[in-house]
Structure 1
Amino acid sequence: MSLIVAKFGGTSVADYDAMHRCARIIIENPEIRLVVVSASSGVTNLLVELTQADTDAQRRQSLIQQISAIQHLILEKLGFPNEVVVRIEAVLERIEALSEQLSVQRSKAVMDELLAQGEQCSSALFAAVLREKGAKSSVFDVRNIMRTDSFFGRAEPQIEQISSLTQAELSPKLTDEVIVTQGFIGADYQGCTTTLGRGGSDYSAALLAEALKADAVQIWTDVAGIYTTDPRLAPNARPIKEISFNEAAEMATFGAKVLHPATILPAVRQKIQVFVGSSWAPEQGGTWIRHQVNAEPVYRAVAVRRDQTLLNLHSLQMLHAQGFLAETFATLARHKISVDLITTSEVNVSLTLDKTGSDSSGHGLLNESLLQELSQHSRVRVEENLALIAIVGNKIATTAGVCRRVFEVLAPHNVRMICQGASPHNLCVLVAESEAAQVVNALHQDLFETPEVI
């Protein structure tokens, strides 16, 4: 029998009714043996606020009460089963203790431990909902197998260790019951809880699917698949039935909210197909992401990623010299900064950084220490309030007329940066965030809503 790993996001496990819908999806498909859940919608944001240094005692109590209320509403619908109540109350007590600990001493390790509690609650409750519907199900603590380094807030998974631990400790359990586990969290070699960064539940599901050599990963969310662009920006956006790994990776990287950017990587390594669908309306179908697809159009989608930062470095050391870029990237690497786009001239280099890639506690990327290091060998200028827009498709770099068509649409707007040619699957532009919606809608109209669309 095929093995499917299904991941349910925060809105899919937001309350009892949402969990009930997801349980029906699992029961109707016996090939789903492993379920990965996020925290119930809103819980992680409340936990993030609990980690903040300026949260006073009164506000902490209010936040804990809100978290508790979300769990108790689900427990009430379940009829307050004793073993689940005991488990949830223990987690709530742990949340209170960790928040008090943080109020005395700041610690990223404690922050990660606190942020992990949302998934501890949702996994226990979801397994109970499955049992209520007649399924044999239990909870498995993913920290036993999701081995990471100790970079708290954005921990890096250790692939080989995850694979061996998963085969030894998780795989044998999948024969007899549906296992529910947690996304977003892991543990380092000392057993300390870590988090994979915001949105990391998708990544968790794909890593576990890779370790299990699963046939498919299902990502269940609140939209019916991946669209040609955000429907809120372009009313005529339409769902995509099938998309390649390369296209999906570009879309995830450049802003498609449906997928976490890293999700595709484990799937690509094992050629595991990925399905994205709506847990609210599974009958509507969704998008399949596959290694090979039937059609490869020049234009597949328009993705947008807001809250971008442009880092400009000016230095005469670059002029006919070697090593400047190596030194710059070494500095960024020491601070765990990933660069998206880059353009260079003789004495300038411009880099885009994604602020949404900040760690799970919400801390930003450009700290004072990093800026001081960069300032030692260049003049640094930071520009913010920008949006990165990517036209995603196939053979973009080698298809005549693509740039002309795109630039005609962009003519009324100031484009701060252009990147094209490094990948056959995208053409990227950086514009003011205030103009992003208008630019996306205009591009979508021209590329997808005209008769000559490819």
Structure 2
Amino acid sequence: MKIVKFGGKSLANGAGLHRVVEIITQKVQNKEKIAVVLSARGNSTNELEEILEKAAKNKNFQEQLQAFKQYQYGGFAGLDFQEEFETLDKLLEGVYLLKDYSDRIKDQVLSLGEIIAAKLLTQLLTENGIQARFTDSRKLIVTDDEFGNAQPLEALSKENVLTHFSQFNGETVHVVTGFIAANMNKETTTLGRNGSNYTASLLSNYLNAEELQNYTHVNGIYTANPDWVKGARKIEHLSFNEANELANFGTSILHAKTIIPLLEKNIPLRILNTFDDTNSGTLITKESTEKGIKSLSVLEQMALINFKGRGLLGKVGVDARIFSALAAKHISVSIIAQGSSERGIGFVVDAKRAEEAKHALKQEFELEFNTNDVTEISIDQEVSVISIIGQDLKTFHKPYSALVKNNITPLLFNNAITGDNVSLVVKQDDLHKALHVIHGEIFEIAKKINIAIFGHGLVGGTLIDQIIQSASEIEKRKGIKLTIFAIANSKKVLYPTTGLDSDWRQSIENQGVSYTIKDVITYANEHHLENLIAIDNTASESFTANYIPLIENGFDLVSSNKIANTLPHDYYKKLRKVLQAHQKEYLYETNVGAGLPLIDTIKLLHLSGENITRIKGVFSGTLSYLFNTFSESDTSFSKVLKAAMDKGFTEPDPREDLCGNDVGRKLLILARELDLINEMDEVQIHNLIPEALREGTVENFINNLSQLDKVYDEIKKDQKPNHVLRYIGDLWGDLSESKGNLEVKLVSVPQDSTLGQVKGSDSIFEIYTASYGNQPIVIQGAGAGAAVTARGVFGDLLRLANKG
């Protein structure tokens, strides 16, 4: 025989009930011997409890009661629930008059949900040609007098079950009420949380069932709650021990007491979906065929109690007193973590019992409070427990580190005695994000990286296109899933919830909304996004004010914007302290050399203790092109500049390139990488624009470009033979001190020198060190261009994504 159990959602009006009848009919037609156990239909138990509460508070409950009755009839003809509804009316009238009710009365009220469900299904099966028999479990399961959470009396219950089924076996399908039972006085009791599953489990045990099939509204047990974690996947096979751990830590389909009767007889349990007959569900047996981490299970609405007593050092029996005091109040403790030498202990209880637990401990340790041996009993009311079933402590550092990286610090954790389950206590507000982070770290093939991009001009727009084009290949090759969850300009933000395509620019225009940085942070929090990276491709000083709030809210940073690294040194240091405090990273390789690995090289040399004595080079791809071309041709300076403008090499206002400030900022960034504390106003900059042209409109400047020719023709003529002009940045001096000398200047160098041989718009950097002597480390390559810079930003993004 198989025991087949249907949950409340399977029995709801509509498709549910019809599917249940179909499933049972098919089993009978296949000659399977079955007994059916039912929960109350739909949300009936909660409805009855709400109606009962209203009656006890003298509130009008009649409207809700009538709706409940109407739902139970469900539009089916010929149903007779008169006896049940008369009983319900009398009980509620009494509660309304007394303004109170006992657990005994509550059990009588709640039992009616299962009775009505079983009577209804019995009639539907009979009308469908199935020989079905309504079976009231109050005549089978005998319990103690613990109303609301009664415990079965095994011997009597087993005898009743065997006698009943021996009388009514054969082709009869027994439709048994779950959840309810009766004590020795034949008073109605209930079996507590998950009671219907417990009834099915007990029947399976007593009847030595071949299998217990538990039909629900999901396809089985998942690696996490699929309503919370999108990537959760079904588990094909679990052991009873693993299922028991899941049941202990909140998996709603299971309950610990359901497992025990099955384990005693080694009866398989299969979790199936009423609404999907193509799915094989999750099978639970004595042994699992798969080892390793199985699932994340959650206990919500918990409270963390912290008990501190510095004066208890060395005193024996403190723990025993704590748990005895709680046991006397029937308060269950789920997670325990203890400080050294009993000076502090933290434990988790049901949030509804937290104040009661605190009061019990205050009473127990009243004397110690008076002597200050116990200093504090505090409650953190809003916490949840996440249990990683199958987690070995040897690899626990991976999910733990992922949590910390995502700004989630567990309040406490412990592991099972077997060493293969770990439980974490987190703030309730962090629960969903924590589940995403842990699940992604453990189960998902691709690591999810959620990106917010600020600025979508030449560099930003090119980067977005590069990510769209490369994302699927990166996921395939590297196991990294790049998702752009926000694109913003100075006015609008777009949250592309269905992904991006080549029309993203039009989408921003049509669907973008005004925003502040707080809105983007809120969006990420509300959607529980993990592994956050913010990319700044603006050239805005005002946007750098958002860096610290982003870091504090869990974002790593990537930036092609140079400004943050050239602001006053106090801010520069503050930014690094915030990064360190929140264990975040800030990458900005493109700040100086576009796509060249310059900053990373300097960082590694400096970190290794190498004494860098000088850095100089051509820092600007735009000015590299300008002076390379001017030095090698007979063309006037103004014509070379105009050609550079036409090729898009310069800023819209070329004076932003020619003034030298950009090179000055790059030079200062390198100085600060060497821990120098120079400020921007200490950089000596040779401005290439004659004073007469520094002010005024861009149009006026362009119309008067020819005024540059006389100046630069003379400079070019005054050079030594075989020399060329280069606009360089030069960091020199005793760089082991707090400050260096920073110069941006136009120089003439031999044509066959390292700087003299640079071509096109390349940048080149010479790094002089004590170890290398007069032979510098040379880094040379494309120093400008949206594609090159975007690719450098992309590289920083992938470096961050690869970490952890």
TM-score by length of 1: 0.89
User: In the alignment, residue 108 of structure 1 is paired with which amino acid?
Assistant: D
User: 1:39·1:122 contact (CA, 8 Å) conserved in 2?
Assistant: yes
- Structure with the larger RCO, 1 or 2 (CA within 8 Å, 6+ apart): 1
Change in CA separation of 1:292 and 1:381 when aligned onto 2, cut-off 3 Å: same
Equivalence for 2:330: 336
Q: Which residue of 2 aligns with 1:438?
A: 433
Question: 1:359 maps to which residue?
Answer: none
SS in 1 for 2:119: helix
Structure 1 position 271, deviation (Å): 0.8
Change (3 A) 1:125 1:317: farther
Deviation at 1:381, TM superposition (A): 2.4
In structure 2, the partner of 1:12 is 10
Aligned to 1:29: 27
Distance across 2 between alignment mates of 1:57 and 1:32: 48
Per-residue deviation at 1:37? 0.5
Moved more, 146-155 or 109-118: 146-155
**Are residues 32 and 41 of structure 1, via their aligned partners in 2, closer, same or farther at CA, if it must alter by over 3 Å?**
farther
Correspondence 1:229 to 2:230: no
Q: Number of matched residues?
A: 429
**Counterpart for residue 259 of structure 1:** 254
Q: Is the 8 A contact 1:342 1:351 kept in 2?
A: yes
Q: Following the alignment from structure 1 to structure 2, what is the Cα–Cα distance between the partners of residues 110 and 249?
A: 32
Contact 1:304 1:440 in 2 (8 A): no
With 426-435 and 159-168 compared, the bigger mean Cα shift is at 159-168
Give the structure 2 partner of residue 51 of structure 1: 52
Q: Classify 1:111/1:10 alpha carbon distance in 2 versus 1 (closer, same or farther; 3 Å).
A: same
Change (3 A) 1:265 1:365: farther
C-alpha deviation, 1:316, in angstroms:
5.9
AA of the residue aligned to 1:350 = G
| Identity among equivalent pairs (%) | 28
TM-score, scaled to structure 2: 0.51
Q: Please report how far the alpha carbon of residue 64 of structure 1 lies from its aligned counterpart in structure 2 after TM superposition.
A: 1.2
Aligned to 1:358: none
TM-aligned CA distance change 1:57 to 1:93, over 3 Å: farther
- Which sits farther off after the overlay, 152-161 or 182-191? 152-161
The equivalent residue for 2:200 is 205
Q: Distance in 2 between matches of 1:339 and 1:300?
A: 24
User: In the TM superposition, what are the counterparts of 1:222-371 in structure 2 within 5 Å?
Assistant: 222-296=217-291, 298-315=292-309, 318-345=312-339, 346-354=342-350, 364-366=352-354, 368=356, 371=358
Shift of 1:56: 5.3
Q: Is the 8 A contact 2:55 2:61 kept in 1?
A: no
Structure 1 residues 274-299: Cα deviation after superposition (integer angstroms, max 9, x where no partner):
00011011222200001122221x21
CA offset digits 1:327-369 (Å, max 9, x no partner)? 33333333332221111221322221245xxxxxxxx44464x
Instruction: Return the index of the structure with the highest Cα Rg.
Output: 2
Q: Deviations over 1:55-99 (max 9, x none)?
A: 5556311121111011122xx33x31xxx41xx121111111111
- What SS is found at the alignment partner of 1:174? coil
Aligned counterpart in structure 2 of residue 388 of structure 1, from 385, 390, 399: 385
Judge conservation of contact 1:309–1:384 (CA < 8 Å) in 2: yes
| 2:235 partner letter | I
**Structure 1 position 176, deviation (Å):** 3.7
C-alpha distance in structure 1 between counterparts of 2:227 and 2:296, whole Å: 13
| 1:245 Cα deviation after fit | 0.9
Alignment correspondent of 2:89: 96
Distance in 1, matches of 2:141 and 2:209, equals: 16
CA distance in 2 between counterparts of 1:42 and 1:117 reads: 13
Q: 1:57 to 1:171 in 2, by over 3 A?
A: farther
List per-residue Cα deviations over 1:207-263 (Å, max 9, x = no partner).
111111111111101001111111122212111111111111111221222223322
CA–CA distance in structure 1, aligned partners of residues 275 and 94 of structure 2:
39
Distance in 1, matches of 2:18 and 2:114, equals 17
Superposed CA deviations along residues 28-75 of structure 1, whole A, max 9, x for unmatched, are 2243421111111121111111222665556311121111011122xx
Pick from 182, 185, 196: which aligns with 2:180? 185
Q: 2-side partners of 1:392 and 1:407: how far apart?
A: 15
Deviates more, 1:337-346 or 1:108-117: 337-346
CA RMSD of aligned residues (A): 2.2
Is 2:400 the counterpart of 1:403? no
State whether structure 2 residue 434 is matched by structure 1 residue 447: no
Secondary structure of the residue that 2:254 maps to in structure 1?
A: coil
Greater mean alpha carbon deviation, residues 238-247 or residues 342-351:
342-351
**Deviation digits for residues 132-166 of structure 1 (CA, Å, limit 9, x no counterpart):** 21110011110112222222222222333322221
> What displacement does 1:445 show?
1.1
**Cα contact 1:248–1:264 (8 A) shared by 2:** yes
CA–CA distance in 1 between the matches of 2:214 and 2:4?
6
Deviation (angstroms), 1:311: 2.5
Q: In structure 2, give the amino acid aligned to 1:431.
A: V
**Match of residue 362 from structure 2:** 375
1:311–1:351 Cα contact (<8 Å) kept: yes
Answer whether contact 1:19 1:129 (CA < 8 A) is retained: no
Structure 1 counterpart of 2:120, one-letter code: L
TM-aligned CA distance change 1:54 to 1:168, over 3 Å: closer
Cα separation, 2, equivalents of 1:118 and 1:234: 32
Q: Which runs of 4+ in 1 moved over 4 A?
A: 53-58, 315-318
- Which amino acid counterpart does residue 403 of structure 1 have in structure 2? F
Change (3 A) 1:190 1:371: farther
Report the residue type matching 1:306 in the other structure.
E
Q: Distance in 2 between matches of 1:99 and 1:255?
A: 32
Q: Report the Cα distance in structure 2 between the residues aligned to 1:317 and 1:114, rounded to whole angstroms.
A: 51
